């Protein structure tokens, strides 16, 4: 890889666009104006401090910004699309029956209610005995 073709600012722009982040959003996150981000994206080299801040906001490593190339991006996309990776799949079909869960919760609440009712009955019986003893 020819290091002279690496353009940090252009790489920031490409990564930002891939992530779907608008320039003004990046600017706000960095505490800069949109024009400052535009200028940053035109710089061939970014200083270490700026590189660190931008990488944190974009959620990528500094090395990703330094070494980003179109070929690398194409390889990443080509190797991740249609690989049947299940890590990002959301399961909309639960492995349990929701009705069973509702019934289970209802039964737990009913049991709790029965215990509370039994305690109230015991308390009332005790109070009744105390009243009878006073008479």
Percent of the chain with pLDDT over 70: 76
Q: How far apart are CA 3 and CA 28, in angstroms?
A: 30
Alpha carbons 46 and 40: distance in angstroms, whole number: 8
Number of H helices and E strands in the chain, helices first, is 7, 0
31 — alpha (psi -120 to 50), left (phi > 0) or beta?
left
Distances (CA, A) of 23 to 36, 88, 114, 125: 10, 27, 61, 73
80 versus 11: which is more confidently predicted?
Answer: 11
Q: In angstroms, rounded to a whole number, what is the distance separating the alpha carbons of residues 38 and 9?
A: 9
Q: How confident is the model over 80-126, as pLDDT tens digits?
A: 445 444 544 455 555 667 788 788 888 889 999 999 999 999 999 99
The whole-model pTM stands at 0.52
- Is 3-80 CATH 1.10.260.40? yes
Residues with Cβ within 8 Å of 30's Cβ and at least 6 positions away in sequence, in order, are 36, 37, 53, 54, 57
């Amino acid at each position: 890889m020819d290091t002279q073709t690496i353009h940090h600012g252009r790489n920031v722009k490409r990564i930002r666009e891939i992530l779907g982040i608008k320039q003004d959003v990046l600017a706000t996150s960095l505490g800069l104006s949109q024009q400052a981000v535009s200028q940053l994206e035109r710089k061939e080299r970014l200083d270490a401090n700026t590189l660190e801040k931008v990488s944190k906001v974009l959620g990528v490593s500094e090395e990703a910004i330094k070494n980003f190339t179109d070929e690398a991006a194409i390889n990443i996309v080509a190797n991740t699309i249609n690989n049947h990776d299940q890590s990002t799949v959301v399961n909309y079909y639960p492995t349990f029956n929701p009705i069973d869960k509702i019934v289970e919760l209802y039964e737990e609440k009913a049991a709790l209610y029965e215990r509370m009712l039994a305690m109230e009955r015991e308390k009332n019986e005790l109070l009744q005995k105390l009243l009878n003893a006073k008479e």
